[in-house]
Chain A
């Protein structure tokens, strides 16, 4: 079809080929307005209907696993915090838990509660961020602005308590690096009282708003069987009726002493995933309140530079996106011999094949966003 005098673009499309064939490929990414991070979905489309999805990763690979083996254990805590800013409490926590397991360190009970508070405040902000983006993708800019404004209270909490809006720097091996005094606890309680009714209002909006329901109910469905087959985790699994939460299955930190609601929905569509995230954002507020009420006195960490002997172990936590597993192997040296982590998005993005089957072009972005993809975590 291509004649020599016809200019050919970099994609090998000639000017004569423009009569668009019945089936064509649309690139979603690596840079796309609907994606917060670089990710390439090669999507074959017939008319307005998706026929196949190919995921191409590797655009934000930074070699963090390699870097971790060239840093001391204490430096690696700082490094893991920088894998991804939205789960930046979960990564160092899981890493510290693994190191503590090898070194057989007991974390002071006050530190356990403070870890829960750090993790749940991050969960609150992260989940609100994702549902805000959902509103943006459906063209409902006002709701997007509103949810982001409410999330700003969570950001204020982080700034007031931890001194940072994204990376909290809260975790260290053997404990935490921050403490709450009476004044800051008052401030925290005040801001939680401020955000709780607003989150309730947002939940009601997403539950009843016609625009949201029209674009999310029955869209991107992942059945329970498919969810189990793909091994999806976190809100994606819980929205498909697989009620699996590390905070229940293998409680860590102070979770054994706290009441964490088990959330589950059965429809497995985009709406269910958004609702699970919203309910869990609301639950996060309650969990922080419980932790504040029960917060014991005492040390916040043990030895500042604990010795980690040779050994290997895994540790897992419930990140905002689901189960986060760390594998750590240490030797006689000061650096970890190997650190590897399996992030929730790695399990969840494979399920996109099922969710996007027969989807409409208009829904691609909404469905992709519904697994709350964290590309930095996955490609590190």
Chain B
């Protein structure tokens, strides 16, 4: 298989592409079902996210008259989804071929992770809806708050790994995994614990989950940037969100706990870890609290995760 074909497979089939889509939708289905059970409801079938997408696929996408540009309005969800499929291809998944170094390293991944947020901002802005505009400003405020900590978290892990490997910084995700397989997981490295805390808060903010679902708050701004989207275009945003949950979970596992058995068993364990983290770390938390206000969320991020991330980086540099 030529290199180009291998790259294409990794973006379109696995670990990006179909694999990430299926896993993301399964995570969403499990999340909805588990949340329902915690709230005393029966909840939807596990395949509900897929049914929703099929239904959206048969609908029309309406472009509002107020939209500044039809093209931008329709292309934005596609850009968001493609960026996430690409990002999923960068995640080392045990039992699958390691991501090609030609695709990029962790810095590329951090950039790619910002694209869906920017896409939502563009989508809210281009729709011409005031609710979209409020969603835009909220998404921007939230991104400014959480992007800083995630860059610092990644930098802390890269520098820490680099120091141990006798380099300045290790940016290859595969290298970071290999280092932990030899020297033990970063999860057990006290120097990186502040970084882990910062990452734990980054996760719901990046995915727009309660308490940080502020830009898309249904009862406040009617889903904000998504208010004017319908049909397949809305479906693309939903797909993007599903893949994003895989990417961010995968990034977390890669940075802090990539230790799984060799071979296909490793893949099974890795998938199980995804589900357990999703249900305990996200679902159980989100049903237990309500939404923050945007000013509260920004203040919160500037207070705790940013400080934790800076502390982590400082400790890594000093130690």
- Which residues of A approach B to under 8 Å, CB–CB? 7-9, 11, 13, 15, 17-18, 20, 24-26, 32-34, 45, 47-48, 135-143, 145-146, 149, 210-212, 214-215, 360-365
- Nearest CB of A to B36, in Å: 9
Given the known interface contacts A13-B66, A33-B222, A145-B40, the answer about A212 and B290 at a Cβ–Cβ threshold of 8 Å is yes
Q: Are A360 and B211 in contact (CB under 8 A)?
A: no
Neighbour of A48 across the interface among B128, B292, B294, CB < 8 A: B294
**Residue ID in chain A nearest B124 by CB atoms:** A20
When distances are taken between beta carbons in the complex, the residues of chain B under 8 Å from A214 are 292-293, 296
When distances are taken between beta carbons in the complex, the residues of chain A under 8 Å from B68 are 15, 18
Say if the beta carbon of B65 comes within 8 Å of chain A.
yes
- Which residues of B approach A to under 8 Å, CB–CB? 38-41, 64-68, 125-126, 128, 130-131, 133-134, 137-138, 210-211, 213-214, 217-222, 287-296
Sampled A-B contacts (23; CB under 8 Å): A7-B65, A18-B67, A18-B125, A20-B125, A20-B130, A26-B131, A26-B134, A45-B130, A48-B295, A136-B219, A139-B213, A139-B290, A140-B290, A141-B39, A141-B287, A145-B40, A210-B289, A212-B290, A214-B296, A361-B134, A362-B217, A362-B293, A364-B220
Q: Are B287 and A362 in contact (CB under 8 A)?
A: no
CA distance A135 to B290 in the complex (A): 8
When distances are taken between beta carbons in the complex, the residues of chain A under 8 Å from B40 are 145-146, 149
- Nearest CB of B to A197, in Å: 17
When distances are taken between beta carbons in the complex, the residues of chain B under 8 Å from A361 are 134, 220-221
**Residue ID in chain B nearest A11 by CB atoms:** B66
- Nearest CB of A to B132, in Å: 9
CA distance A210 to B287 in the complex (A): 14
Q: Which 9 A-B pairs have the closest CB atoms?
A: A139-B291, A140-B290, A211-B290, A138-B290, A9-B65, A18-B128, A20-B133, A145-B39, A142-B287
Secondary structure at chain B's binding surface: helix, strand, loop or mixed? loop
Query: Which of A135, A138, A365 gathers most chain B CB within 10 Å?
Result: A138
When distances are taken between beta carbons in the complex, the residues of chain A under 8 Å from B290 are 135, 138-140, 143, 211-212, 215
CA distance A140 to B41 in the complex (A): 15
**Residue ID in chain A nearest B67 by CB atoms:** A15
CA distance A139 to B67 in the complex (A): 29
When distances are taken between beta carbons in the complex, the residues of chain B under 8 Å from A211 are 211, 289-291
Q: Are B217 and A139 in contact (CB under 8 A)?
A: yes
- Nearest CB of B to A271, in Å: 13
When distances are taken between beta carbons in the complex, the residues of chain A under 8 Å from B213 are 139
Q: Are B128 and A142 in contact (CB under 8 A)?
A: no
Q: Are B287 and A24 in contact (CB under 8 A)?
A: no
CA distance A152 to B128 in the complex (A): 42
Instruction: Supply 10 further A-B pairs (C-beta < 8 A) apart from A15-B65, A211-B289, A211-B291.
Output: A13-B66, A18-B68, A45-B134, A48-B138, A48-B295, A139-B211, A139-B217, A142-B38, A362-B294, A365-B220
CA distance A100 to B107 in the complex (A): 80
Q: Are A48 and B134 in contact (CB under 8 A)?
A: yes
CA distance A32 to B220 in the complex (A): 9
When distances are taken between beta carbons in the complex, the residues of chain B under 8 Å from A149 are 40
When distances are taken between beta carbons in the complex, the residues of chain A under 8 Å from B125 are 18, 20
When distances are taken between beta carbons in the complex, the residues of chain B under 8 Å from A139 are 210-211, 213, 217, 219, 290-291
- Nearest CB of A to B130, in Å: 5
- Nearest CB of A to B111, in Å: 27
Neighbour of B130 across the interface among A25, A135, A137, A363, CB < 8 A: A25
**Residue ID in chain B nearest A25 by CB atoms:** B130
Neighbour of B219 across the interface among A8, A9, A34, A47, CB < 8 A: A34
CA distance A11 to B66 in the complex (A): 9
Q: Are A363 and B41 in contact (CB under 8 A)?
A: no
When distances are taken between beta carbons in the complex, the residues of chain A under 8 Å from B296 are 214
Neighbour of B39 across the interface among A45, A142, A210, CB < 8 A: A142
When distances are taken between beta carbons in the complex, the residues of chain A under 8 Å from B219 are 33-34, 136-137, 139, 365
- Nearest CB of B to A45, in Å: 8
When distances are taken between beta carbons in the complex, the residues of chain B under 8 Å from A362 are 214, 217, 220, 293-294
When distances are taken between beta carbons in the complex, the residues of chain A under 8 Å from B217 are 139, 362
Neighbour of B295 across the interface among A11, A210, A360, A365, CB < 8 A: A360
- Nearest CB of A to B229, in Å: 16
CA distance A141 to B211 in the complex (A): 11
CA distance A45 to B138 in the complex (A): 14
Query: Which of B133, B210, B218, B220 gathers most chain A CB within 10 Å?
Result: B220
Q: Are A26 and B130 in contact (CB under 8 A)?
A: yes
**Residue ID in chain B nearest A47 by CB atoms:** B137
Given the known interface contacts A139-B210, A362-B293, the answer about A9 and B66 at a Cβ–Cβ threshold of 8 Å is yes
- Nearest CB of B to A146, in Å: 7
**Residue ID in chain B nearest A369 by CB atoms:** B219
**Residue ID in chain A nearest B131 by CB atoms:** A26
CA distance A7 to B67 in the complex (A): 10
CA distance A47 to B219 in the complex (A): 18
- Nearest CB of B to A142, in Å: 5
- Nearest CB of A to B221, in Å: 7
Q: Are A24 and B133 in contact (CB under 8 A)?
A: yes
- Nearest CB of A to B67, in Å: 7
- Nearest CB of B to A297, in Å: 41
Given the known interface contacts A48-B137, A145-B40, A362-B294, the answer about A9 and B220 at a Cβ–Cβ threshold of 8 Å is no
When distances are taken between beta carbons in the complex, the residues of chain B under 8 Å from A146 are 39-40
Given the known interface contacts A139-B210, A139-B219, the answer about A15 and B128 at a Cβ–Cβ threshold of 8 Å is yes
Q: Are A363 and B293 in contact (CB under 8 A)?
A: yes
CA distance A45 to B220 in the complex (A): 13
When distances are taken between beta carbons in the complex, the residues of chain A under 8 Å from B131 are 26
When distances are taken between beta carbons in the complex, the residues of chain B under 8 Å from A360 are 293-295
When distances are taken between beta carbons in the complex, the residues of chain B under 8 Å from A13 are 66, 128
CA distance A61 to B68 in the complex (A): 38
**Residue ID in chain B nearest A364 by CB atoms:** B220
When distances are taken between beta carbons in the complex, the residues of chain B under 8 Å from A364 are 220
When distances are taken between beta carbons in the complex, the residues of chain B under 8 Å from A25 are 130
CA distance A191 to B217 in the complex (A): 37
CA distance A362 to B295 in the complex (A): 10
When distances are taken between beta carbons in the complex, the residues of chain A under 8 Å from B133 are 20, 24
CA distance A369 to B289 in the complex (A): 20
- Nearest CB of A to B282, in Å: 14
CA distance A149 to B287 in the complex (A): 16
CA distance A18 to B126 in the complex (A): 8
- Nearest CB of B to A153, in Å: 14
